[in-house]
Amino acid sequence: MAFKVNLLLSAQKDLDKALEYYYRINPSLSKRYFEEFLQIKTILETNPYFEIKYGHIRTLKLSSFPYLVHSILIKPFLGF
């Protein structure tokens, strides 16, 4: 089953800030950061059932960068 990943506006802003930060250090570093983010997004689209860290929020860490991706699994309403 495939899942849809929606990025909140605040998450998009955080992603943009991180990309700018790493780009100022080295453009290739920014590219690596974005590629890792896309890998996490692909993982969540395939299997979003990771350990719940607090409340109903799940997290995944980027492997080479000090960032966590926070996610919430919203189950669709199938009706009656």
d(CA 66, CA 48): 20
What pTM was estimated for this model as a whole? 0.86
16: in domain: yes
| Amino acid (one-letter) located at 3 | F
d(CA 14, CA 29): 16
Q: Give the pLDDT of residue 7.
A: 94
77: in domain: no
Burial of 42 (0-12, 13-18, 19+ CB in 10 A): exposed
Domain that holds residue 48: 9-72
For residue 30 the two structure tokens come to 């920014």
Asked if residues 71 and 48 have their Cβ atoms less than 8 Å apart, the reply is yes
3: in domain: no
User: What percent of the chain has a predicted confidence (pLDDT) above 90?
Assistant: 84
Q: Tally the domains of the chain.
A: 1
Q: Tens digits of per-residue pLDDT, 24-70?
A: 999 999 999 999 999 999 999 999 998 899 999 999 999 999 999 99
